[in-house]
Structure 1
Amino acid sequence: MAIATAPLAACSDEESRLVIHTATGEHVFEVEVVDTQETRAQGLMFVQELGPDEGMLFDFLDERPVSFWMRNTFIPLDMIFVGADGIVRNVHVNAVPHDPTSIPSDGPVQFVLEIPGGRSVEIGLEAGDRLEHARIEAD
């Protein structure tokens, strides 16, 4: 995956695979996981391109309200806010590059998945859909 401009923690093969289950089927993404304050703060800032099935999974290690912004981010992104159970709580489509406006979760979440802007619409992603990943506890 060629999304980072600076080295971030390498993901195992198991952690790089994420599946989104929607009404339109299963959609497989290759993700980079970030789970420290430093790597979450860097996120996808300064990244110039992201493949259609690539993304970044932010793991906050427990559920809490979170918010993001697009400062120093050069590409539009969809932000998918996900509970510890893997259920999508809310989706923000096409966050605008360089926009400092806060984009909050609609309540506590453990994960945020960032994928290319508009991709969530293409795959039919909606609140209530489910993510499958090595870090997500399945019920």
Structure 2
Amino acid sequence: MKQWFAFVVFIAALITGSVSVSAQEAPMQLAVDAQGLKIQTAAGENNFALEIADTDQSRSTGLMYRTDFPADRAMIFVFGEERPVMMWMANTPLPLDMLFVRKDGTIAHIAENTKPFSKDIVSSGAPVAFVIEVNAGIAEKEGIKAGDKVQHRIICGQCK
């Protein structure tokens, strides 16, 4: 009888543990903002539907566990003030391009084709107020480069 009880307790612990792990691995789904994100490049304007990560929880989760992210979509991480920013790809299955953006909307640095699941630090290389993530290859395909301007009400109010 004691063995049966110990077995039941063991199975319950396994189930409880696996349920909590599954809950942690659920991808975060943020609403798409009513206003799109614009990136002005030498080749023209690029438009993206935008998810906004502006809380501690949403910034720390980002695109973790997401296996699908539309090519016309971006996620912006809002930090509120310019500072050095460190990102990583832990628990993120999709390769991404990270655009590190100053408070005035100028792209300071781009980390292209970041490695899925990597715990390596991806640094902004300069103080920035925002990080924008898009699918890997978008920066190259659309000609997005450091120095290009990003427009959205979160970055520059009513951009001109």
Distance in 2 between residues matched to 1:7 and 1:86, nearest whole Å? 25
Aligned position for 1:101: 120
Aligned position for 1:79: 98
Structure 1's unaligned 5+ residue stretches are: none
One-letter amino acid of the structure 2 residue matched with residue 6 of structure 1: M
Higher strand share: 1
TM-score (ref. length: structure 2): 0.79
Distance in 1 between residues matched to 2:113 and 2:143, nearest whole Å? 14
Length, aligned pairs only:
133
Aligned position for 2:78: 59
Distance in 2 between residues matched to 1:6 and 1:73, nearest whole Å? 12
Distance in 2 between residues matched to 1:5 and 1:39, nearest whole Å? 11
Q: Do structure 1's residue 6 and structure 2's residue 25 form an aligned pair? A: no
- Give CA deviations for 1:37-89 in whole Å, capped at 9, x if unaligned: 11100000000011111110001011111011100000000000000000000
SS of 1:33's partner is strand
One-letter amino acid of the structure 2 residue matched with residue 80 of structure 1: L
- Give CA deviations for 1:76-134 in whole Å, capped at 9, x if unaligned: 00000000000000000000100110000011100100000011000001110000101
The root-mean-square deviation of aligned C-alpha atoms, in Å, is: 1.5
Distance in 1 between residues matched to 2:154 and 2:74, nearest whole Å? 15
TM-score (ref. length: structure 1): 0.90
Q: Which structure's CA Rg is the greater one?
A: 2
Deviation at 1:6, TM superposition (A): 3.1
Higher helix share: 2
Q: Do structure 1's residue 25 and structure 2's residue 44 form an aligned pair? A: yes
Structure 2's unaligned 5+ residue stretches are: 1-25
Contact 2:28 2:63 survives alignment (8 Å): no
Identity %: 39
Q: Do structure 1's residue 122 and structure 2's residue 137 form an aligned pair? A: no
Q: Do structure 1's residue 131 and structure 2's residue 150 form an aligned pair? A: yes
SS of 1:39's partner is helix
